[in-house]
Amino acid sequence: MSVLIDEKELPQELTAEQAVEAAYCSELAEVASKVQRGLPTLIECDKDLAPFLYANLRNRLRAANLRCLYLDGRPRQEEQGGTMPAGMIGTMIAQLREAVRGPVERRIVVLPHLDLLTTSQGGLTTEAREVIPLLYENPELVWIGFKDPSFPLPQVIENLFPHRVSLLGIRRDRLRYLITRKESRKFGCEFNPWALYKYVSGVNAVRLRKLLSTLEGEDYPANPAHAYRQLRQATLGGTLEVPTVSFEKDIGGYAKVKAQLNNEVLHLLARKEQLTNEEQIRAIEELIPKGMIFWGPPGTGKTLFAKAMASEIGAAVTIVSGPELKSKWVGESEENLRQIFHAARQSAPSIIVFDELDSFASARGTYTGSGVEHSMVNQLLTEMDGFHREEMVFVVGTTNWVEILDPALLRPGRFEFHLHIPYPDADARREIIRIYDRKMDLKMSEETLEYTVRRTGPGYLTPQGTPFSGDHLNAVCRSIARLRLREGRTDTSTPRDVERALTEYQDRPQMTPAEERVLATHEAGHALCSLFCKHTPPLERITIESTNPWAFGYVRHQDPAHRYIRTRNEYLDAICVALGAREAEALLLDDLSMGAVGDLETATALARELVEVHGLGGPEVGVARFVSDNDERQRRAHLSEGQKEALDRAIRTILEEGRQRAAEILRRNRALLETLRDLLLEKKTIDAKTLAQFAGNNRMSQGPWPEGGPAVGGKS
């Protein structure tokens, strides 16, 4: 069945009263039927809609010979000169008291301002404490109450109404009856109410008539974008705006993340916009996830991806900080959530972004706070379950730890779509830096760009000890831009500028020449052993002026060719390299510093893994896995003393053979070790290019063992 409608099928004119009847006829008929049978009814609707709903119900009830008493707080004509209390609420209470304690026959009493009896937090006002007993005093009265969705009602008042109906926005199948022929011409030759619904789903019928009657522009345009733009601007509530973030221009790299978001969400939405068959549209709507979790480390662009998605579909974005939702007042946190969802539905299409969702939506039963989180999770679930599939309202929760979220949120139908946004890889870093280079006019050369990519890659950490995220790359580029501005430069940015941006203002240890010599010897020992170990990744950088708080110097290797499979020889080479620094100190300094603690820990851990986990401990130990977890207290609890001693001997053998191998490499190439140490003392930092020249200019002898080193657990 096609959703396109011929202009002749639309009404010529529409009043607000006719629009209300067309939009809510079935719901109003049900309310009138319930009231006629004596069932009090609560109607949730916008304030500007309530008078029109009442007028419609009054006419329906009059046809059944029933009269309504409308208590809106305005003095009736016969009361103008009386002694009624001043003020709207006082007048309303007096009218209510008179209605309750007046004639005994069954009457219908309409309460259009129930929200005035409560505070914005749902607590009871002084007036409410007087009114509540009156509401329950006369069982012959049939109540019709109107509830503003922006304000909660105390449970004691809601309990008065066994029947409740919510008239928020309009149903899609009624939209065709709410637009005139003249107005439909602003949307092209063929009117598609389902396409229009995207922009007005949260608008009530009365407000919709006002919006449509003010549309400007030519009739039958080739592109109805102008008419939709007017509606979009009119439905944006408060300070909401549609962001202008481009996936291509503003988010660099992350091809896999973009593809997943496009394939699972955006492609379906685009396909839906192209369809005119009702069954096909409904089928696609069943597939589109309305709740999404964007998770990953801080600073990787989770909120930016949500804004880019909003830009793609023309949606307004509401960004909500989880901690800001919490309140010490009972009920206020849940009320904050209600108002956010109500505003989002009125401004559809829209996206609600809950930043730091885990701050209140952790798994129930794990809270350590006041307990308000439990109520907030329940309220969030209630609001999400209230969505209709045709509504273009999406909820995105961002978190660093998806595993701690409440499982009830993650089931299908709620936050069912999970998008992992990790730290950027080399390609993503390159594209991110290109974007900032263009925006900040940094004029980076290709060499500088590639240096920045390497300098912020694996093995390099921020001062906080984390890998570089997109935010960190932004900070680096801003620092370079400030540097260029201070110096009035218009030339090309260089790798030195990048290094200055990263390290210029960081505190560095002031080492004595003797300490620098020890450190240079230590790092040169690592580097030289790496050069003679075939299964070690190529060297990228050596430095003795590190800004890292956990190391005064370091040797950095390039990314390994094989990242997911490691071999025995790679383990043995890594042990040799780890122990090389200690052996270099013993060879050239005739003494040992206490700086090899981390190296010994690394080498020991590798040897233990070979023996206890991978079954490479030699004939005495045999081929078996001896540990089942990483808990140091339990890893050997099930073994006999003899097995433990055999494992320890095998581990000591591997470590000793690695030490001997490193010592022999350094002894045979002592001259190279001293040259490398002196070069490091002179330059402080040696990059891959200088290392390649060093290796090419110095004839290197072969290592003491054939490729791969000695057999594990055996004699060399």
φ/ψ (deg, to 5) at 158: -60, -35
Please state, in angstroms and rounded to a whole number, the distance separating the CA atoms of residues 189 and 400.
Answer: 49
Please state, in angstroms and rounded to a whole number, the distance separating the CA atoms of residues 73 and 326.
Answer: 35
Q: CB 53: neighbour CB atoms within 10 A? A: 25
Look up tokens 């991978």; give the residue.
614
The reply to whether 378 and 399 lie within a common domain is yes
pLDDT score, position 711: 37
Domain boundary among the residues 357, 388, 420 is at: 420
Q: Which amino acid is at 264?
A: E
Q: pTM for this one?
A: 0.77
Domain boundary among the residues 444, 470, 503 is at: 503
For residue 34, what are its two tokens?
């319930």
Q: What CATH number does residue 281 fall under?
A: 3.40.50.300
DSSP-based three-state secondary structure for 1 = coil
| Domain presence at residue 186 | no
List pLDDT tens digits, range 20-73: 999 999 999 999 999 999 999 999 999 999 999 999 999 999 998 998 999 888
The reply to whether 432 and 411 lie within a common domain is no
- 523 is a catalytic site residue: yes
The reply to whether 690 and 593 lie within a common domain is yes
With b for 16 or more beta-carbon neighbours within 10 A and e for fewer, the 291-307 pattern comes to bbbbbbeebbbbbbbbb
The reply to whether 352 and 270 lie within a common domain is yes
pLDDT score, position 604: 93
Non-local (6+) Cβ contacts of 664 within 8 A are 703, 704, 705
Give which of 159, 146, 68, 162 is closest to 106, Cα–Cα.
Answer: 68
Q: 580 to each of 217, 516, 585, how far by Cα in Å?
A: 78, 18, 9
Please state, in angstroms and rounded to a whole number, the distance separating the CA atoms of residues 569 and 547.
Answer: 32
Strand order across the 393-399 sheet: 316-321, 350-355, 393-399, 291-295, 415-420
Task: List, as one string, the DSSP characters of 29-70.
Answer: HHHHHHHHTT--EEEE--TTTHHHHHHHHHHHHHHTT--EEE
What secondary structure, in 3-state letters, does 430-482 show? HHHHHHHHHHHCCCECHHHHHHHHHHCCCCCCCCCCCCCCHHHHHHHHHHHHH
Crossing angle for the helix pair 126-135 and 88-100, to the nearest 10 degrees: 20
The reply to whether 523 and 622 lie within a common domain is yes
Q: What CATH number does residue 92 fall under?
A: 3.40.50
Please state, in angstroms and rounded to a whole number, the distance separating the CA atoms of residues 30 and 53.
Answer: 13
List pLDDT tens digits, range 490-523: 999 999 999 889 887 776 667 788 888 999 999 9
The reply to whether 383 and 449 lie within a common domain is no
| Domain presence at residue 330 | yes
| Domain presence at residue 303 | yes
| Domain presence at residue 211 | no
The reply to whether 416 and 430 lie within a common domain is no
Please state, in angstroms and rounded to a whole number, the distance separating the CA atoms of residues 605 and 99.
Answer: 84
| Domain presence at residue 220 | no
The reply to whether 409 and 482 lie within a common domain is no
With b for 16 or more beta-carbon neighbours within 10 A and e for fewer, the 416-428 pattern comes to ebebebebbbeeb
Please state, in angstroms and rounded to a whole number, the distance separating the CA atoms of residues 161 and 560.
Answer: 69
| Domain presence at residue 2 | no
| Domain presence at residue 197 | no
pLDDT score, position 345: 86
DSSP state of 100: H
| Domain presence at residue 436 | yes
The reply to whether 416 and 490 lie within a common domain is no
Please state, in angstroms and rounded to a whole number, the distance separating the CA atoms of residues 685 and 555.
Answer: 10
Q: 499 to each of 493, 511, 546, 621, 646, how far by Cα in Å?
A: 11, 20, 11, 50, 50
Q: CB 125: neighbour CB atoms within 10 A? A: 14
Q: What CATH number does residue 526 fall under?
A: 1.20.58.760
The reply to whether 430 and 415 lie within a common domain is no
pLDDT score, position 593: 85
Question: Out of 312, 334, 383, 523, which one is annotated catalytic?
Answer: 523
Domain boundary among the residues 503, 526, 547 is at: 503
Whether the upstream peptide bond of residue 349 has omega within 30° of 0, thus cis, is yes
E strand residue ranges, 304-392: 316-321, 350-355
Look up tokens 């809950």; give the residue.
354
The reply to whether 288 and 370 lie within a common domain is yes
What total number of domains does the chain contain?
A: 4
The reply to whether 604 and 634 lie within a common domain is yes
Domain that holds residue 650: 518-697
pLDDT score, position 703: 41
Which stretches in the chain have pLDDT values below 70?
A: 76-86, 103-104, 118-124, 238-239, 322-324, 326-332, 363-374, 507-509, 547-551, 561-563, 628-635, 637, 695-716
